[in-house]
Chains A and B, each alone.
Chain A
Amino acid sequence: PHLRTFSDDFQTCKVEGAWPLIHNKYLSVQVTNTPVVPGSSATATSKLTIIFKNFQECVDQKMYHAETDELPAAFADGSKNGGDRHGANTLRIVEKVPGQQVEIHARYIGTTIVVRQVGRYLTFAVRMPEEVVNSVEDRDNQDLYLCLHGCPANQRIDFRTFRARAVEGHGLSRTGSPPHGFTYKAAMAKCKERLPVEDLYFQSCVFDLLSSGDVNFTMAAYYAFEDVKMLHSNKDKYHIYEKDAFGSNAAPR
């Protein structure tokens, strides 16, 4: 999957299996990623678990769990808010599109989460105050939390190498057609329909179409960017671009 970290790093990762995204004093988020195409290192999210921890007079501990084709508009215990404490309504679940989009508002920690199912896979986006992000319980064990530090180096997929191969046609099968139905040009054209700016959301869309052939990933990238527009606090940073060999951002084409 593609990851935009709290510090606006953009990475494409393997991270097959269960991985933690966030873990701090107030909540934990974990995802499970499964291969999209057998034999490929590209995976996508099929399960997501969020645990909101018990907090003062506000909320009981609540767990939210979603899986492919099961995006509930309630916590695991069937409730839609933070329990029966005085501030219980400062944690609530709102169903935006049945089976497709859920928002979780945790006002007691200034946090908003958007969970979507796009095609067969889940997407996750969060807006969280820095203070909450940094309220870690054990600084020594924070390396693996993807939203905070990104993916470990051995889990990253190099966008540029993958793209260069696609452009050169290394991915073609014996018949000369691309293995999953999209040529590089066709993937570019398809992604352009939804993502006119050639930023990393556009690039990730192209990557996904080439690696999976699943056109739904166009919408995953599109909605991920819609979530950025809703949740990111700095309009100037909505779009992010590929860094060049010297580490600075490439100019938008």
Chain B
Amino acid sequence: CKILKCNSEFWASTSSSGPEEEFCTALRAYNNCVRRTARTCRGDLAYHSAQHGIEDLMSQNNCSKEGPTTQPRARTPAPPPQLQPDSQERSDGPEQCHYERSLHRQSSPPNYTHCGFFGD
């Protein structure tokens, strides 16, 4: 159950005070994160608290459930050396989600290997 990761990402993304819309955006991202943990966190007290907490915060701040979401960056786990994230995002996903694109500035191109398993 990775509910604590959702909590810490939410708090990291809201640590600096900003306009209310930004808070709603972060809250929606938090809600998405919590929903993704539903299967593994069933019965976990922190998970159920987060669920109720999000609902309360959404109504207190008049946030709609639909709308843009942010993906907090501050505390995402460090990627391996050649998968360094880039702050620039493209329409089909952040730079760090494109292995080859994220290597453009590396000195040598990656080596690819192959494995096959077939027959009897």
- A242 at the A/B interface (Cβ < 8 Å)? no
Residues in B with CB closer than 8 Å to A205 are 119
Of chain A, the residue at the smallest CB distance from B72 is A57
Q: Which residues of B contact A232 (CB under 8 A)?
A: 112, 114
The size bracket of the interface on A is 35 or more
Contact with A along B92-110 (1 / 0, CB 8 A): 1110111110000000001
Q: Does A73 lie at the interface of the complex (its beta carbon under 8 Å from any beta carbon of B)?
A: no
How many Å from the CB of A56 to the closest CB on chain B? 5
Closest to B89 in A: A86
Whether B111 is near chain A, meaning CB under 8 Å from some CB there, is yes
In angstroms, Cα B118 to Cα A146, docked, is: 13
In the assembly, what is the distance between CA of A16 and CA of B63, in Å?
Answer: 56
Complex CA–CA separation, A229 to B60 (angstroms)? 59
1/0 per residue, CB under 8 A from A, across B6-50: the answer is 000000000000000000000000001000100000000000000
Q: Counting CB contacts under 8 A, is A3 at the interface? A: yes
Give which listed residue, A2, A36, A109, contacts B118 with CB less than 8 A: A2
Interface of A is mostly: mixed
Interface flag for B71 (CB, 8 Å): yes
Chain B residues closer than 8 Å to A132, beta-carbon distance: 99
**Which residues of A have CB within 8 Å of B113?**
6-7, 127-130, 133, 233
A132 to B77 CA separation, bound complex (whole angstroms): 16
Kindly state the separation between the CA atoms of A125 and B97 in the bound complex, as whole angstroms. 22
Contact call A57/B114, Cβ cutoff below 8 A: no
CB neighbours of A60 from chain B (8 A): 36
**Contact B99–A108 (Cβ < 8 Å):** yes
Set of chain A residues within 8 Å of B97, measured between Cβ atoms: 55-59, 86-87, 90, 107-108
Q: Which of A36, A58, A146 contacts B117 (CB 8 A)?
A: A146
Which of A169-177, A182-190, A215-223 lies at the interface? A215-223
Is the C-beta of A27 less than 8 angstroms from some C-beta in chain B? Answer: no
Complex partner residue of B119 from A83, A146, A217, CB under 8 angstroms: A217
Which of B93, B96, B97, B114 counts the most A-chain CB atoms under 10 A from its CB?
Answer: B114
- Please report the C-alpha to C-alpha distance between residue A89 and residue B89 in the assembled complex, in whole angstroms: 14
Q: When A108-B97, A129-B111 are in contact, do A223 and B118 touch as well, CB less than 8 Å?
A: yes
Instruction: Name the residue among B94, B111, B120 with the largest chain A CB count within 10 angstroms.
Output: B120
> Could you list 29 A-B pairs, sorted by A, with CB under 8 Å?
A2-B117, A4-B114, A4-B117, A7-B113, A25-B80, A44-B120, A56-B76, A57-B71, A57-B96, A59-B97, A83-B36, A87-B94, A89-B92, A89-B93, A90-B93, A90-B98, A107-B99, A110-B100, A124-B118, A125-B116, A129-B110, A130-B111, A135-B80, A147-B117, A204-B118, A204-B119, A205-B119, A228-B116, A233-B112
Knowing that A21-B117, A57-B73, A107-B98 touch, tell me 6 more A-B residue pairs with CB under 8 angstroms.
A1-B120, A22-B115, A58-B97, A130-B111, A130-B112, A212-B120
List the 8 closest A-B pairs by CB distance, nearest first: A87-B97, A87-B93, A110-B99, A147-B115, A58-B97, A123-B118, A224-B118, A233-B112
